[in-house]
Chain A
Amino acid sequence: MSPLVDLAASLWQMLTPTMLFHVAWSMLLGIVVGALPGLTATMGVALMTTLTYSLDTTSAILVLICMYMGAIYGGSRSAILLNIPGTPASAATALDGFPLARAGKAGHAMGLATAGSTLGTLVGIVLLVLIAPPLAELALRFGSYEMFWLALFGVLISGQLTVDSPPLKGYIAGILGLMIAMIGSESLHAYVRFSPTPQMNGGISLIPAMVGVFGLAEVMTAMWQRPGTLAAIRDKSDRILPSLVELWKYRRTILRSGVIGTFIGVIPGVGEDIGAWTSYAAAKRASREKETFGHGSYEGLTAAETGNSAVVPGSLIPALTLAVPGSASAAVLIAALFIHGIRPGPMIMSEQPQFISSMGAMLILATIAMAVYGLALTRLFVQVLRVPYAYLMPVVFTLCVIGPYALSLRIFDIWVMVAFGLVGFVLRQMKYPMAPLVLGIILGTMLDTNLRRGLTLSDGDLTPFFTRPISAVFVAIIVGAILLNFGFVRRPLAGLKDRLLNRGNA
């Protein structure tokens, strides 16, 4: 069967009352989480993981997908109404959404953001079901050498793209994550490294670390900052539902942003915010109304929302086929998949061939729910933004404490969460991105095992790390990415680009 027929069959199987009930509540919760400034999609997925232990695998993954998508989408509410992105993914949305809200077009801006998010996700889903199976087949050819480079590539590219230039702080965050992964028993000889206490013999668990850097650190950031002012202004001409003519007008922007978002999602650890900014920049470059961008452009808003939503299915492509997360939220999702007995990675097409189409079906259900809620419950989300932090944040922190504990029943994991939260807060204030750190913790074991296994297989010969075709491609990309940070490489390239563009215009 073709991937799209598989997708339709999976969707049909999933249309049961129980599944629809799970979609309904988890999507609503996801949008609320995303809408509240200070609660991010990653934090929502991490906390929700701890709440899905008792669900069956399909329901649990569906709930997590809805939380992920709902939170990314919900972030646009506070971006438009408060000028505070609910999640970093919605930062680009605020640029045009807030001026529209102040001009009395809040409803229309939210309606258009909903349509953009829906269409962007659908573009991403189609690409997911088409790209993921062949990529998984290709990944079957990966040996230790390729897996080593893949892990390094993930941490490096994530470090490079999640900070403003220069990317040194991103690299440092990635290395810190890899170093944390070195704690505890290693997988080749079961030797316990850097473990001052028996509780660390098994290593630092991902969930407490992640809940710390994305949960406690965000609670502290939210309480430290002053709350914004609601700009929920709607005049009489404001309508929520965007017209088909309007959507047709922005068809190129939607398609372009959907594709850009999906491919940004595929790059390990890069995330929704970069997807939104890249789509926004591309739309601005191609637009005939460049001057309206940043001052209430519907096109800019559509590009940002389509771009960040398309990252969700895109980030699942490497997560499912290579076990390398495309975003920080996808990293938590990988951990959740393992907890629920799904083993993402190259073997997924042979062990669970239906899973990728099931994931596509879950994303479609979540997208439909998102569109329905987004267009129908605009007033409710405005009310949600009025919940005082004094009431919200202690409950969130309670879940940060009990969530990691519930997984292992160890008080030690609560201490780990607190330690990561405090250090994470300080690092974030100093502009260190947290996604490479988390990615480092996830990919550390893969990097370590494959480096030493590769060296053992080649008897200490480094040549296979560079001469095997797929390895060579990874090496070329990694070296290129590092060299691009240096002025002596960037300047001639920029000059060459200018000359080519001038020749093209002449």
Chain B
Amino acid sequence: MRMATADRISAVVFCALGVAMLVGGYTMDRLEIRQIHPLSIPGLLPMLLGGALALCGGLLWLQADPGSEAGSERLMQGGSFSRLALTAGLACFYALVLVGWLPFFWSTALFVSCFTAVFSWPGAAGGAARLRVLAQSAVFGVISATAVTLLFEKAFLVRLP
């Protein structure tokens, strides 16, 4: 996707968010029952910020020029999408599912082992090398999980999830 297209999409999102904030601030409880000063209502700054974001969204739309050098620049160049998707997937699965479901030690050992194995795998050619990668990843995962668990549980007295 080109930067200009991405800017136009985000401009629409920001405009919508700004208008939503403006409306949210305007319709917010004015606490008349507490007889507060009318200019100290909780919705005052949200209204102003909503208006400002909607204005900036509009300016972003106008500024996004597909013909310009900056606008024609392609987004997300020079990296590997498969590595990004794997990183995001593993990280989200660990943080949102494993932690809190399994004990912290096991979730961390599993995550670190899988992450290390997945990203070390392409560099290993042949069955023996792959077995070594799996073994090294498992050992590294257990060692890392032990170190982090001991550090937080014993040194910082944190009750881990």
Contact = CB atoms under 8 A, between A and B. Distances in A.
Interface of A: 51, 53-54, 166, 168-169, 171-172, 175-176, 178-179, 182, 186, 188-189, 191, 193-194, 216, 219-220, 223-226, 388-391, 393-395, 397-399, 401-402, 405-406, 409, 411, 414-415, 417-418, 421-422, 429-431, 447-448, 451-453, 455-456, 459-460
Contact of A388 (B10, B59, B120, B155): B120
Nearest to B144: A395
B103 interface: no
B116 interface: yes
30 contacts: A169-B60, A175-B53, A182-B21, A182-B45, A188-B40, A193-B46, A216-B91, A220-B84, A224-B76, A224-B79, A224-B83, A224-B87, A226-B80, A390-B116, A397-B91, A398-B148, A402-B104, A406-B152, A406-B158, A409-B159, A411-B99, A411-B161, A415-B95, A417-B95, A418-B95, A422-B88, A429-B75, A448-B44, A452-B39, A456-B39
Contacts of A53: 156
Interface string B75-118: 11011110110111011101110011000100010011001101
A220 B91 contact: yes
Contact of B119 (A178, A390, A398, A405): A390
A188 B39 CA distance: 12
A430 B84 contact: no
A208 B32 CA distance: 35
A176 B36 contact: no
Interface string B1-41: 00100110010001001000100100011010010111111
Q: Is chain B's interface secondary structure helix, strand, loop, or mixed overall?
A: helix
A42 to B, nearest CB: 19
B52 interface: yes
B10 A430 contact: yes
Interface residues of B, number: 74
Given A394-B116, A430-B75, A399 B148 contact: yes
Nearest to A409: B159
Contact of A415 (B29, B45, B96): B96
B49 to A, nearest CB: 5
B45 A418 contact: no
